[in-house]
A and B are shown apart, each in its own frame.
Chain A
Amino acid sequence: MRIGVFVCHCGSNIAGTVDCPRVVEAARGFPHVVYATDYTYLCAESGQDLIKTAIQEYSLDRVVVSSCSPKMHEETFRRAARQAGLNPYLVEMANIREQCSWIHSDKEAATRKAIDLVRKGVFKVSRDQELFPSFFKVNKDVLVIGGGIAGIQAALDAAQGGHRVTLVEKDQTIGGNMARLDKTFPTLDCSSCILTPRMVDVAVNESIELLAYHEVEEVKGYVGNFDVKIRRKATYVDWSKCTGCEECVGKCPARIYDKFNQGLGRTKAISLPFPQAVPKKVTIKKDFCHFFLKGKCRVCEKVCQFEAINFDDQDQIIERKVGAIVVATGYEAFDPIAYLEYGFGKYKDVITSLQYERMVSASGPTMGHIKRPSDGEEPKTIVFISCVGSRDRAKGRSYCSVACCMAMAKQAILTKEHIPDSTSYLFYIDIRAGGKGYEEFVDRAREEYGAQYVRGRVSKIYQKGKKLVVKGTDTLLGMPIEIEADLVVLAVGIAPPQDAPELAQKLNISYDQYGFFVESHPKLRPVETNTTGVFLAGACQAPMDIPASVAQGSAAAAKALGLLAKDELEASPIVASVEIKRCVGCFKCEAVCPFSAIQRQELRDGIMVSNVISTVCKGCGLCGVACPTGAIKVNGFTDEQILAEMEALLL
């Protein structure tokens, strides 16, 4: 065995605290080390050349690079080794920067520790074995979950890239929350006018299979080869016949909660959420339909000229095979019922910002007239309250919802345009206007539209005659403030959909304490997840506004396209493997595997043993710990290697 040790100075990052030449000197004395040297920047091209030349000149068959975290440059040095003809998995990193020089100040002690870490690397590398990646074929189709603006963008971009796309939307139309908005900040262009053409693009695109009123039931498999089961929820309407004429809607006697309009106004048990819905098809809500509840009615069936009504419709499971998945499940408005002091649900004239949006919208239940829900009168004094369900630790929501400050400013402008003699008071904590043209937009609201910003929180709202008294504090003046308002609008925060954790578990991706999906790296891998082949777009990952959601939709599509550009993918060999003769078939590994990478395999004599699907395995090692017999090892981190490291450090 011929081991080479390379010690990096990293400028003064390492050399400032660690005596590198002394580390080199010590390394020369370690078993099997035939060459050791130090260099200012090993990651630089000249540094890599140094390693490559040494491998060839000294016939090195193992290399220890003593520099930074393997997270940083392991790939770099493995590539260099490969270029020099050495199996890249015969390279080990000894982290003497993050785990040594950066955290110590005593040069003598740090140098001794660096020497120990290098010894550990040498001991480990001497037990390393050549590893070879495996290759597998990829399916080129893409699944997009969620048909909001982020999902629409991802689907369109992926389709444009030449892939077949399946877009699954749980509601009966795509469009998501953006379809609920009247205008968008900071340009005040009409939300529907810019959204609906995109929705139609999806509908007419031959590469996109739009599955509205469908939900993802199960996801199995791995990058390049996902097997997805999708539930088609029963619509009780044959969509191939329905033309969306809404004849049935007019005649339906069951008036129900209107989810699209956030409970403002009523809709029917058979309905279309809004006129521009895509697909423009009606569905029957079984739980409210008179026929399903009482066994009588069937009016819709009678009036439908196309014989599209089918009361015998049932849920169906359909299956799709895809290579990549974009998750764009968006958000739900925070339910302000938790804020008892605001009296939402108690006072009719306390509404959410999304309800207000529907009220201002010309296609909304009030035809764009701002009316008090209690008596239908036009409000003159309107109070907006920000950070309802955001930046509030007491309510368990410590994050900023990003879009509400701007939405609130927009709504103040729209209010002034609709009711010129009105006054809007906006209670805020800080005005977060960090986007292109955003600060200017807030200035406009304040200067041109007379929005009255009040810095402070509202402590109580109570009814006084027809008015709502809003009590709070103006913290800039340091004085209590009381406003008699006609209407109170709560700028509710962005919350993940309630079923987000459930979906995350199906997809094997992480989610945070709120239910937002977790990206692979907050800065460098913002749309990837820790499950290769599953990407994130839009507000399901974190609160974000429309431009950011669209950008992420495109980014996720680009990532999927990049992944699917190859016919075959390389699977890292740093995965678990089962030594069959040691396996007792207890399948503890299967129970603990977070990636469903364990398969049961039947041997000739009927004995069942574990098998690791190496393309699914992430090499996390949980199975190895759970395995009672030590039948599972993780390549590159075998017991022998780890014991060797321990021996190097402790003995």
Chain B
Amino acid sequence: MKEVESRLKEEVKKILDEVAYVVGYQEGLTPLSARPLFIRNPKEVDRLVYNDFCAPNLANYVKKSDQKIGIDQKVGLIVKGCDCRSVVQLLQEGILKRENLILIGVPCRGMISFKKIEKLFDPLETYLAEVRDKKLKVHLAQGEESYHLEDVVFEKCLWCETREPLVVDIMIQGPLSLELEQKEKDFDIVELEQKEPAELFDFWTAQFEKCIRCYACRNACPLCYCQDNCLADTRQPHWLGQQTDALNNFMYHMIRAMHVVGRCTGCQECERVCPVDIPISKIFRKTSMITQQLFDYIPGMKVEDVPPLLTFKKDEKF
């Protein structure tokens, strides 16, 4: 991955003249996390990192910028396979303009979940970490420890089908797999489907009771772009109350579910950022499964696709 990172830096330097800025990653609070980096000059390139901890979906950081259609400012964006699907979806919906983007594709072999390692050790006390021999090796105060990768990478990475970005301008080649045992796609949803409706309702009520309505899920979602006009915030019309009880939270999450139905690309940023661990992406992934069945459409795959809710075909039965 070190090699990928240095090649990435070279490529970013090459395009800096063409773009207003490049969105990439820099080290987060610890070397085991990453946060967005906006690169405007060659000096800032030194801060760029790319490793197995670069989980955030950077697509989120271009759509809310002055990328709004009509303003012809070019932006560079570093995309992993899953992030790229968000970009493709935003292109389909006309929120981004292809000619205003330089997409630098990076290889992804599966990202390590900060939430998962947090449960195993204190990442803030860690001063070195590396991925070797299907293991995550960390240097802690008390000595070196190693963990099975299956236990620390994101679930979604274990069934990932788009490790390589689908639409890029520049592709950095590199390792695409950690050679871990794959899981069946969306197996967790299949499990949930077995439950009776009443049981399911109880399950979600319990989940939504935890919600503190911090709106992190909404803010992290690349496809939530109502910006200042989110129905959850508006008081006119008053769609839902601001109280964080199960009922109002239910309403909030259902509104979001209705808004991303047939659009969610399954990047699971909502879940990654949730401070109270609500498995909210299950709902979005379930609705995506339904729309895929009904309309034979998978969000974020081809720029020229038309989302099913933006078109009407005479032979549709629904």
Contact = CB atoms under 8 A, between A and B. Distances in A.
B238 interface: yes
Contacts of B226: 582, 584, 628-630
Contacts of A629: 226-227, 229-230
A587 B94 contact: yes
Interface stretch (A42-50, A180-188, A204-212, A600-608): A600-608
Most interface-central of A591, A592, A605 (chain B CB within 10 A): A591
A606 B237 contact: no
Interface string A405-416: 000000000000
A500 interface: no
A626 B231 CA distance: 14
Contacts of A607: 68-71
Contacts of B236: 640
Contacts of B71: 605-607
Nearest to A603: B70
A608 B93 contact: no
A405 B289 CA distance: 54
Contacts of B238: 643
Contact of A602 (B70, B93, B306): B70
Given A592-B310, A640-B236, A631 B70 contact: no
Most interface-central of A584, A630, A640 (chain B CB within 10 A): A584
A628 B311 contact: no
Given A628-B226, A643-B237, A643-B238, A584 B68 contact: yes
17 contacts: A582-B228, A582-B229, A584-B95, A585-B69, A585-B95, A602-B70, A606-B71, A606-B72, A607-B68, A607-B70, A607-B71, A608-B70, A628-B226, A629-B226, A629-B227, A630-B229, A640-B236
A631 B227 CA distance: 12
Interface of B: 68-72, 93-95, 225-231, 234, 236-239, 259, 306, 309-312
A588 interface: yes
Contacts of B312: 592
Given A582-B226, A588-B93, A638-B237, 13 more contacts: A585-B69, A588-B310, A591-B311, A592-B310, A602-B70, A605-B71, A607-B69, A607-B71, A608-B68, A626-B310, A630-B229, A630-B231, A640-B236
B310 A606 contact: no
A481 interface: no
Interface in A552-605: 582, 584-588, 591-592, 602, 605
Nearest to A622: B312
Task: Summarize B's interface: helix, strand, loop or mixed.
Answer: loop
Nearest to B311: A591
A626 to B, nearest CB: 7
Contacts of B310: 588, 591-592, 626
Interface in A617-651: 626, 628-631, 638-640, 643
A639 B236 CA distance: 8
Nearest to A639: B237
A628 B259 contact: yes
A585 B306 CA distance: 17
B225 A586 contact: yes
B68 to A, nearest CB: 5
Contacts of B309: 626
A585 B68 contact: yes
B225 A628 contact: yes
A374 B285 CA distance: 67
Nearest to A647: B238
B283 to A, nearest CB: 18
Nearest to B90: A586
Interface string A279-304: 00000000000000000000000000
B311 A584 contact: no
Contact of A584 (B227, B237, B306): B227
- Of all A-B residue pairs in the complex, the 10 with the closest CB atoms, nearest first, are A608-B70, A639-B237, A629-B226, A629-B229, A582-B229, A591-B310, A606-B70, A640-B237, A643-B237, A606-B71
Contacts of B225: 584, 586, 628
Nearest to B230: A629
Interface string A326-340: 000000000000000
B207 to A, nearest CB: 25
A631 B229 contact: yes
A432 to B, nearest CB: 31
Contacts of A631: 229
A499 B200 CA distance: 51
A151 B236 CA distance: 52
Contacts of A591: 306, 310-311
B308 to A, nearest CB: 12
Contact of B69 (A608, A640, A643): A608
Nearest to A591: B310
B90 to A, nearest CB: 9
Nearest to B310: A591
Contacts of B234: 630
Most interface-central of B93, B239, B306 (chain A CB within 10 A): B93
A640 B94 CA distance: 29
Contacts of A588: 93-94, 310
Contacts of A585: 68-70, 94-95
A626 B306 CA distance: 14
Most interface-central of B226, B236, B239 (chain A CB within 10 A): B226
Nearest to B309: A626
A586 B95 CA distance: 5
Contacts of A640: 236-237
